[in-house]
Amino acid sequence: MYNAKAFSAASETSPLDSTTIVRRDPTDTDVQIEILYCGICHSDLHQVRNEWSGAMPTVYPCVPGHEIVGRVTKVGSAVTKFKVGDTAAVGCMVDSDGTCPECLAGFEQFCANSTLTYNFPDKHTGGVTYGGYSDSIVVDQRFVLHIPSGLDLAGAAPLLCAGITTYSPMHHWGVTKGKKVGIVGLGGLGHMGVKFAHALGAHVVLFTTSPNKKEDALRLGADEVVISRNADEMAKHAGSFDFILDAVSADHDINAYLHLLRRDGNLCLVGAPEKPLAVAAFNLLFGRRSLSGSPVGGIAETQEMLDFCGKHNITADVEIIPIQQVNEAYERLLKSDIKYRFVIDMASLKG
């Protein structure tokens, strides 16, 4: 065991503050990573403030962060995927049983015995897992990913959650050229959704509550932008979408979007608001529409997504902050005041 520097929250009402945590020494199959950048996902905020107390209650102290990019500082004797000095990345999961049908099919995100990167029972320490708001992390090589050379490392960090969470459902539900695709909410996930849908050749419509994001949305790859609070603008798209990805973090009316789907269209939730969302049955019955959801993605698919980003030169649009500004960043997230992902420069944790 060794001590690592980190930022943690002591309770659901406490700000994040600097602390020291205990990490395990690398086992034979582990990779130790010096963390260079960690993205700030809205899930970090939900979790730190215990907004998912029903499904995933928070254990304190909580060290969030699951968009991790860094450099390998040590490898176990059986590690074959990485060597000291390599760039390495870790996303939302750090372990799974590796033997169940889900794992064997590459769906570690559905493994009943998977371990999330933070706030999850840690079989090594007996406590809970601690995430990437820290100067280092130790992870089994199966859950460590390669960043394609040439990608900016700070911009690549958000790919590990915002990237895979938007790429995976588009891949699964066949977003491609000729499809009309809606993205709801231009935040961290939404702006990656726009980039991927555009790169996959779809006709992309971005729905936003923030009129000042219109120009950015078009620059990021949207073909059209709809201000979702304008009923007339919404009505023009009734019954026309093949697929809509909803990446909104707060309570909102999903019926307004179900109504925009064509026959057999699908609205996929990736956003995880605190409170249940109401569904008007007729919005599903008429048009045989589907409402679905999707959590992150498997490890092989995450590497595939990263390689896709390498090929198409896709990274997140980031605002880099020192870790001392993390609490302000959370307040700005709540105001949708981010273009379009905060990324912590972990050098700020040294000193």
Where does this chain bind ligand NAP (CB under 6 A)? 41-43, 46, 161-162, 165, 185-190, 208-210, 213, 247-250, 252, 270-273, 294-296, 333, 336, 338
Taking the alpha carbons at both ends of the chain, their separation in whole angstroms is: 22
Pick the closer one to ligand NAP by CB: 74 or 214.
Answer: 214
Using only C-alpha atoms, the chain has a radius of gyration, in whole angstroms, of: 20
Place of tokens 């992150």: 296
Maximal CA-CA distance, the chain: 63
Residue 41 touches Zn ion, criterion: CB under 5 A: yes
Nearest-10 crossing angle of helices 188-199, 162-172: 40
Pick the closer one to Zn ion by CB: 43 or 114.
Answer: 43
Pick the closer one to Zn ion by CB: 51 or 242.
Answer: 51
Residue 68 touches Zn ion, criterion: CB under 5 A: no
Tokens of 59: 């254990």
Distance CA 55, CA 92 (A): 16
Burial of 76: CB neighbours in 10 Å, binned 0-12, 13-18, 19+: middle
Q: Candidates 39-47, 49-57, 127-135, 168-176 — which segment interacts with Zn ion by CB under 5 A?
A: 39-47
Residue 43 touches Zn ion, criterion: CB under 5 A: yes
Residue 145 touches Zn ion, criterion: CB under 5 A: no
Residue at shortest CB range from ligand NAP: 187
User: 39 with 155: CB under 8 angstroms?
Assistant: no
Min CB(139)–ligand NAP separation in Å:
19
Min CB(150)–ligand NAP separation in Å:
25
- The site partner of 213 among Zn ion, ligand NAP, none (C-beta below 5 to 8 Å per kind) is ligand NAP
Distance CA 152, CA 45 (A): 25
C-alpha triplet 129, 247, 167: angle, nearest 5°:
75
161, 175, 244, 245: residue in contact with Zn ion (rule CB under 5 A): 161
Contact footprint for Zn ion (CB under 5 A): 41, 43, 161
